[in-house]
């Protein structure tokens, strides 16, 4: 079993992100409670209920969203054997294994902890990577499980999503109101505040998402001892995604924060990207490779 070193940078960023998001969300809930004349108790029950549902059923929701199929050892023996071996090295219990039938080459991990963890790969990935590259990608996903960053991302995204839907549907809902000027004015205020909350939380979550990919890349290098294999896999996945039809990519874009390489059908600014650039990831892995060789 490899000697796992906790990533203090990732842990610090997760704590800071949750603290900042908590401050933003408490303000948002207090604001909604005041404007909508709802008691603080009702708002708290609403948030706890929905966060609980999202937290405890996050793995099932992700699998359902991606049409991932849980597979047995009989159905995917090589995949199971590889994950079992890597889990022994990483000191992890074996997660549930799933496959997504899509041409988009990718992989992701989800779940709230070790016992509920799921590692999924796409059929496109299995077809395009050799065994060493596949091991590197699976080690990356197992590093997410080891770092427990999937649960943090799931919790952090909840009220951000709530604010987004308020922005999206507030005027539609408001059209069924009395139409009084005061009501319209309150609705506009709610809409503006919701936009601000969504933008702030969106940027904080994306910043955390980018760093956790660096951390998982380092974890994969620790587990396999071969950063070059992950570099090869990342380059191959990135190059293949560019050739995948835009329609197939759009179907998977909602899962970008979980994927090892984002399935994007257009360019994104670094500030709003879920992942660091390929160049930065390769540079970081090459540095680790040099350190190993010393």
Residues 219-271 have pLDDT tens digits of: 999 999 999 999 999 999 988 766 656 555 555 555 555 577 765 544 445 55
Query: How much of the chain is helix, strand and coil, in % rounded to 5?
Result: 70, 5, 25
- For the chain, give the percent of residues with pLDDT over 90: 34
Q: Which residue has the higher pLDDT, 290 or 66?
A: 290
Helix (H, G, I), strand (E, B) or coil at 265: coil
Please, what is the Cα angle at 221 between 217 and 222, to 5 degrees? 115
Residue 146 falls inside a structural domain: yes
pLDDT digits (tens, 9 = 90+) for 15-62: 777 777 767 766 766 666 666 666 666 666 766 776 677 667 767 777
pLDDT of residue 279: 92
Q: How confident is the model at residue 275 (pLDDT cuts 50, 70, 90)?
A: confident
The DSSP secondary structure of 226-255, one letter per residue, reads -HHHHHHHHHHHHHHHTTS-HHHHHHHGGG
Q: Phi, psi (5° rounding) for residue 93?
A: -70, 150
pLDDT of residue 13: 75
pLDDT reading at 103 higher than 90: no
Q: Which residue has the higher pLDDT, 138 or 196?
A: 138
pLDDT reading at 95 higher than 50: yes
Residues tagged active-site:
141
pLDDT of residue 36: 61
Residues with Cβ within 8 Å of residue 127, at least 6 apart in sequence: 105
pLDDT digits (tens, 9 = 90+) for 201-229: 778 778 888 888 999 999 999 999 999 99
Residue 12 falls inside a structural domain: yes
Please, what is the Cα angle at 137 between 139 and 222, to 5 degrees? 35
pLDDT reading at 178 higher than 50: no
Please, what is the Cα angle at 184 between 183 and 188, to 5 degrees? 120
pLDDT of residue 173: 47
Residue 223's Cβ-count burial label (10 Å; 0-12, 13-18, 19+) is buried
Across 278-290, average pLDDT: 92
Residue 1 falls inside a structural domain: no
| 253, 241 contact by CB (below 8 A) | no
| E strand map for the chain | 68-70, 96-100, 107-110, 118-122
Residue with structure tokens 């990519």? 249
Q: Phi, psi (5° rounding) for residue 108?
A: -155, 160
pTM (2 d.p.): 0.75
Domain of 69, in residue numbers: 8-293
Distance CA 164, CA 185 (A): 19
Radius of gyration of the chain (CA): 21
pLDDT reading at 150 higher than 60: yes
Across 120-140, average pLDDT: 95
Distance CA 165, CA 252 (A): 20
pLDDT of residue 169: 55
Give the count of domains, the chain. 1
Residue 3 falls inside a structural domain: no
Q: Which two tokens stand for residue 86?
A: 């890597």
Residue 2 falls inside a structural domain: no
Q: How confident is the model at residue 65 (pLDDT cuts 50, 70, 90)?
A: confident
pLDDT of residue 77: 96
- On the CB side of 119, how many CA atoms lie within 13 Å of its CA? 27
Residue 24 falls inside a structural domain: yes
Residue 255 falls inside a structural domain: yes
Distance CA 95, CA 63 (A): 14
Sheet holding 118-122, edge to edge: 68-70, 96-100, 118-122, 107-110
pLDDT reading at 164 higher than 70: no
Quick one: which of 224, 232, 267, 228 has its CA closest to 105?
Answer: 232
Mean pLDDT over each residue of the chain, to the nearest integer: 78
Q: How confident is the model at residue 187 (pLDDT cuts 50, 70, 90)?
A: low
Q: How confident is the model at residue 154 (pLDDT cuts 50, 70, 90)?
A: low
pLDDT reading at 177 higher than 60: no
| 237, 127 contact by CB (below 8 A) | no
pLDDT of residue 91: 93
Residue 222 falls inside a structural domain: yes
Range name among 29-38, 80-89, 90-99, 108-117 with the lowest pLDDT average: 29-38
| 237, 121 contact by CB (below 8 A) | no
In the 8-state DSSP scheme, what is residue 57? T
């Amino acid at each position: 079993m490899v000697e796992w070193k906790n990533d203090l940078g990732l842990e610090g960023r997760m704590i800071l992100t949750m603290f900042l998001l908590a401050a933003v969300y408490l303000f948002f809930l207090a604001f909604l409670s005041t404007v909508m004349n709802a008691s603080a108790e009702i708002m708290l029950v609403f948030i706890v209920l929905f966060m609980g549902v999202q937290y405890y059923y996050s793995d099932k929701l992700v699998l359902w969203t991606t049409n991932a199929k849980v597979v047995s050892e009989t159905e995917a023996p090589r995949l199971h054997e590889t994950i079992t071996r890597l889990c022994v090295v990483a000191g992890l219990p074996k997660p549930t294994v799933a496959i997504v039938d899509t041409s988009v080459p990718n992989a992701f991990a989800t779940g709230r902890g070790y016992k509920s963890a799921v590692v999924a790969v796409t059929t496109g990935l299995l077809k395009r990577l050799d065994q060493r590259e596949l091991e590197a990608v699976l080690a990356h996903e197992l590093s997410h499980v080891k770092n427990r960053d999937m649960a943090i991302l799931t919790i952090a995204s909840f009220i951000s999503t709530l604010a987004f839907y308020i922005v999206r549907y507030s005027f539609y809902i408001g059209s069924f109101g009395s139409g009084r000027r005061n009501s319209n004015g309150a609705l506009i205020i709610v809409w503006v505040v919701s936009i601000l909350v969504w933008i702030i939380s969106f940027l904080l979550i994306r910043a955390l998402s980018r760093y956790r990919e660096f951390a998982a890349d380092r974890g994969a290098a620790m587990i396999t001892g071969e950063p070059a294999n992950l570099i090869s896999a990342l380059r191959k996945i990135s190059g293949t995604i560019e050739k995948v039809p835009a329609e197939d990519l759009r179907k998977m874009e909602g899962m970008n924060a979980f994927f090892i390489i984002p399935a994007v059908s257009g360019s994104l600014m670094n500030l709003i990207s879920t992942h660091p650039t390929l160049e930065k990831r390769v540079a970081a892995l090459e540095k680790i490779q040099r350190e190993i060789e010393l």
